[in-house]
Chain A
Amino acid sequence: MRKEEYAKPSRSLTTSSSEVSRREFLKRIGLLGGGIVIYVSFGDISSRAQQLTDFNAFLRIGADGRVTCFSGKIEMGQGVLTSLAQMLADQLGVPLKSVDMVMGDTSLCPWDMGTFGSRSTKYFGATLRHAAAEARAVLIQMAAERLHVPPQRLTVKDGQVIDSQNTDKKVTYAQLTRGKRIERHLTQRTSIKPAFPHTVSGKATGKTDARQMVTGEARYAGDIRVPGMLYAKILRPPVHGATLKRIDSENAKKVNGVKVIQDSDLIAVLHKYPDEAQKALDKVHAEWEIPEPKVDNRNIFKHLTASAPPRQTVTQSGDIEKGKRLAAKTFESIYFNQYVAHAPMEPHTAGVHIEGKRATVWASTQTPFWAQKEVARTLGFASSDVRVITPFVGGGFGGKTRNQQVIEAAQLARLSGRPVQVAWTRKEEFFYDTFRPAAVIKLRSGLDRDHRIVYWDYDNYFAGARSSQPFYDIAHHRVSSRGGWMDGGDQAHPFRVGAWRGPGSNTNVFAMESQIDIMAEAAGMDPLAFRLANLTDKRMRKVLSAAAVKFGHRFAKTPSRKGFGIACTDYQGTYVATMAEVKVDEKTGYVRVERVVCAHDMGEVINPLGARLQIEGCITMGLGYVLREEIRFKGGNILDENFDTYELPRFSWLPKIETVLIDNPAMPPQGCGEPAITPMGAVIANAVYDAIGVRIFELPMTPERIKKAIIKG
């Protein structure tokens, strides 16, 4: 389960890795009484240069036999709290219930770059298995000496080491570690054998923090209370790029119990109740200089195309000119998608408590170690004197990586001399969100006389390159990218943009897999047969076939009027094939998604239940950006401020969702939090085309856009 070692804010560690601080660290993680601790410094998580100490632990086996995993990753709903514990329990040979997880605490956990990109299981999990394998080896060695049995005769089960020839001869991990302190530091990746047979990993397991969530015990950043804490509401510009001309906060200052803080551009009202702070802030009178808007939802694509940096080649093969010459039929399309908000249900929140030269921070963040650095910089403290604790996080989806609210809370805690909580309103959340960038894809492709794709020229403006590498057999291809999802924010976009669940890929797969369907129709083939005819990648063929079997309908050449769609992708090693059935009301342009089938090959599956939940979540969330979600804006003015105009998917949108998990235990576990959202644009666009014979090139496919496309023919 989730261990809240942070219940009481306590002293953080000193910076030097001297014996004193090492002792302090061991004390903090409760190891002075005995136990085993494994440190790891290799792999994806340990960028040594960034690590503050050389002794952050990966796992500890206490003298009571309880196992604790320390991970700089954070849990925000994606289920790694459970799946990582499963990997650890399995490799170590302990029951799941004896594992505690401490995640996203910068004073206890190994440095981590952040939680995004479906990387936690794939990279952290793999390293964790190493740590567990080492601990297991240590325990077996200790047991061998204690039981006078050669180590190769010993097996582990349920936290005990057992003599396989005489099962009465056994000793528990707790007995072995009591009174002893063993530290191991792994610096090299060695080949380890995954535990087999699996006892915990691979088993469908419900979220281990579910009970806390259904009882209200789960504490999110906004639920943390510190004595004397004030709630801050901050004056915001009406539009991005506005400058403050004049301010009058006299009326706000008259409100009982209010503290008004003004420090150059940071103007905030603090009160012991957040609603009272908001009321007082509303009394602040501010005049702004507002820049003329240059771009809006209509002209943004033209603007982006014109302001793009030079092309960078993502991948190429063969000779693009030769491919063009070989093509009997060529196809040219331009695909667009609008800006999309992350809109996690929990807005950005942070609390900061400064005591002397140390600070404790509770942050709703995907990047606690970046937050630590930012707070240290803001306060002029050493990083090691800033402890960032990541409590429950109410969704992130890539949007909680910049920590603006953490910096604001730190500044206000310093200026007010009180613990301060900053919790954004929904309007602030929409205003400061780092939107998924609007993007343009120009795509030219060609078929030879045998219906083989011989030519593919892909030019990407601002989506980001992920998943844009073709997986079909295309002899002559070139894939270029201009500006990624993090680039060009100041010049090209009128506000900040950033990674959004499946960054880049949502746009790329929409374009690529729409184009494939266009060519399938021209080839006179059904979209599944055309894909298989141009595909030798065995894994992709397998997921496509698995999805097709589950889908149960035959595809026909489009438009078949049945409303069937298909799309597939390779997302960072996870293969996905999705099929959908839609109904389109041609009068209103309204699309009803009736059914979605998704087959997923993510290598070894750690938690089948958690995996299905992630896939279902991807499909449901995906309906939003595909059908409705777009940020309406005029220059730096964000017109969507709440869920009345920005529509999220609802219960009434629900299609029937079926998931197929491909059994592929020989491949190490890949990611699962994002892959299945990425084919949603193409699978629905293809299904809409199959239903009504009209191709939609812009996301979201709102009823208005569909009606317009129908009229245009």
Chain B
Amino acid sequence: MMQAIHFKLNGKPVNLRVDGERRLLWILRTDLGVTGPKYGCGEGLCGGCTVLVNEAAVLSCQTPVKDVKGAEIITIEGLAKNGKLHPLQQAFIQHDALQCGFCTPGMILKAHSLLAENPEPTRDEIIQAMDENLCRCGSHVRIVQAIQTAAKQMKGGKQG
């Protein structure tokens, strides 16, 4: 059913008239041209499509767009503020925690939601939180290190 849907995307208001059952991933990627969220499996099994909806990590390939009415959505494109990278983005660069980069937006946003809930996660807590996000290149070791570094930085009040 076509319906009017409003939400905030990376700080800017979005007004759509779309079938509310369509999945958020495709609305973002095609209707709105925001391509940071990736299609990896289409069934919520890989985490590549992860976005933040009101700070929580959500699998956009599984989310009907009608469910995000009035919400605040952040994609990887909206994480840097005025050209300044978020500590997680910086830490992923610093640790070289990426290879092909395809899973990276989902990894960073998933980690973002973890640190919002638990600013000082242990290594085991990081592993548990990130376990549903798949990386085929095998950057896992460095992704864990990057999240640890970012957590330290953010606790230091540099940005958060």
> Most chain-A Cβ atoms within 10 A of its Cβ — which of B29, B36, B77, B138?
B138
* Interface-lining segment among A218-226, A377-385, A554-562: A218-226
Give the shortest distance, in Å, between A369 (CB) and chain B (any CB): 21
Could you say which of A211, A274, A346, A642 contacts B100, with CB atoms under 8 Å apart?
A: A346
Are A209 and B101 closer than 8 Å at their CB atoms?
yes
The answer to the question of A343 belonging to the interface, with a C-beta cut-off of 8 Å to chain B, is yes
Give the shortest distance, in Å, between B13 (CB) and chain A (any CB): 20
* Interface-lining segment among A406-414, A507-515, A610-618: A610-618
Are A210 and B96 closer than 8 Å at their CB atoms?
yes
B134 neighbours in A (Cβ, 8 Å): 345, 643, 648, 650
Are A273 and B26 closer than 8 Å at their CB atoms?
yes
Are A621 and B137 closer than 8 Å at their CB atoms?
yes
Give the shortest distance, in Å, between A429 (CB) and chain B (any CB): 9
The answer to the question of A347 belonging to the interface, with a C-beta cut-off of 8 Å to chain B, is yes
Chain B positions near chain A (C-beta within 8 angstroms) = 22-23, 26, 29-31, 33-36, 38-43, 45-46, 48, 75-77, 79-80, 85, 88-89, 92-94, 96, 98-105, 108, 126-128, 130-131, 133-144
Could you say which of A214, A275, A643 contacts B41, with CB atoms under 8 Å apart?
A: A643
The answer to the question of A532 belonging to the interface, with a C-beta cut-off of 8 Å to chain B, is no
Are B96 and A76 closer than 8 Å at their CB atoms?
no
Give the shortest distance, in Å, between B2 (CB) and chain A (any CB): 11
| Cα of A649 to Cα of B88 in the assembled complex, Å | 23
| Cα of A216 to Cα of B38 in the assembled complex, Å | 10
Residue-wise, chain A 387-401 has the 8 Å CB interface mask toward B (1 for contact) of 000001111010000
A395-B102 contact given A618-B138, A621-B137, CB 8 Å threshold: yes
B99 neighbours in A (Cβ, 8 Å): 77-79, 207, 395, 613, 617
Give the shortest distance, in Å, between B145 (CB) and chain A (any CB): 11
Closest B residue, CB atoms, query A643: B45
B136 neighbours in A (Cβ, 8 Å): 343-345, 395, 397, 621, 648
A652-B35 contact given A214-B98, A214-B104, A620-B140, CB 8 Å threshold: no
The answer to the question of A692 belonging to the interface, with a C-beta cut-off of 8 Å to chain B, is no
| Cα of A297 to Cα of B93 in the assembled complex, Å | 42
Are B43 and A644 closer than 8 Å at their CB atoms?
yes
Give the shortest distance, in Å, between A498 (CB) and chain B (any CB): 16
Could you say which of B33, B39, B104, B143 contacts A222, with CB atoms under 8 Å apart?
A: B39
Give the shortest distance, in Å, between B37 (CB) and chain A (any CB): 9
The answer to the question of A525 belonging to the interface, with a C-beta cut-off of 8 Å to chain B, is no
Number of A interface residues in the complex (CB < 8 A): 58
Give the shortest distance, in Å, between A460 (CB) and chain B (any CB): 27
A609-B137 contact given A275-B23, A345-B102, A394-B101, CB 8 Å threshold: no
The answer to the question of A551 belonging to the interface, with a C-beta cut-off of 8 Å to chain B, is no
Closest A residue, CB atoms, query B93: A210
The answer to the question of A301 belonging to the interface, with a C-beta cut-off of 8 Å to chain B, is no
B92 neighbours in A (Cβ, 8 Å): 210, 213-214
Known interface pairs A222-B38, A345-B135; 6 further A-B residue pairs with C-beta atoms within 8 A, sorted by A's residue number: A77-B137, A347-B40, A397-B136, A617-B138, A654-B127, A654-B141
Interface residues of A in 260-284 (CB under 8 A from B): 272-276
B80 neighbours in A (Cβ, 8 Å): 215
Closest B residue, CB atoms, query A212: B101
Are B22 and A275 closer than 8 Å at their CB atoms?
yes
Are B36 and A216 closer than 8 Å at their CB atoms?
yes
Offer 19 A-B interface pairs, CB within 8 angstroms, sorted by A.
Answer: A210-B92, A214-B85, A216-B34, A273-B22, A273-B26, A275-B26, A345-B48, A345-B102, A345-B134, A426-B41, A613-B99, A613-B139, A616-B142, A621-B136, A642-B41, A642-B43, A643-B41, A649-B140, A651-B126
Are A346 and B144 closer than 8 Å at their CB atoms?
no
Could you say which of B46, B77, B127 contacts A215, with CB atoms under 8 Å apart?
A: B77
> Most chain-B Cβ atoms within 10 A of its Cβ — which of A209, A610, A643?
A643
| Cα of A344 to Cα of B134 in the assembled complex, Å | 10
| Cα of A380 to Cα of B126 in the assembled complex, Å | 53
Are A423 and B39 closer than 8 Å at their CB atoms?
yes
A219-B42 contact given A214-B85, A394-B101, A617-B99, CB 8 Å threshold: no
The answer to the question of A231 belonging to the interface, with a C-beta cut-off of 8 Å to chain B, is yes
Give the shortest distance, in Å, between A147 (CB) and chain B (any CB): 40
The answer to the question of A404 belonging to the interface, with a C-beta cut-off of 8 Å to chain B, is no
A214-B142 contact given A207-B98, A394-B102, A425-B42, CB 8 Å threshold: no
A214-B108 contact given A222-B35, A652-B131, CB 8 Å threshold: yes
A209 neighbours in B (Cβ, 8 Å): 101
Give the shortest distance, in Å, between A696 (CB) and chain B (any CB): 23
A393-B100 contact given A274-B30, A643-B41, CB 8 Å threshold: yes
Are B130 and A651 closer than 8 Å at their CB atoms?
yes
B41 neighbours in A (Cβ, 8 Å): 426, 642-643
The answer to the question of A529 belonging to the interface, with a C-beta cut-off of 8 Å to chain B, is no
> Most chain-A Cβ atoms within 10 A of its Cβ — which of B75, B76, B102?
B102
Are A609 and B30 closer than 8 Å at their CB atoms?
no
A223 neighbours in B (Cβ, 8 Å): 29, 35
A210-B98 contact given A77-B137, A643-B41, A651-B144, CB 8 Å threshold: yes
Give the shortest distance, in Å, between A40 (CB) and chain B (any CB): 28
| Cα of A281 to Cα of B106 in the assembled complex, Å | 28
B126 neighbours in A (Cβ, 8 Å): 651
A212 neighbours in B (Cβ, 8 Å): 101
A211 neighbours in B (Cβ, 8 Å): 85, 93
B140 neighbours in A (Cβ, 8 Å): 620, 649-651, 654
A393 neighbours in B (Cβ, 8 Å): 100
| Cα of A76 to Cα of B101 in the assembled complex, Å | 9
A642-B45 contact given A343-B136, A617-B139, CB 8 Å threshold: yes
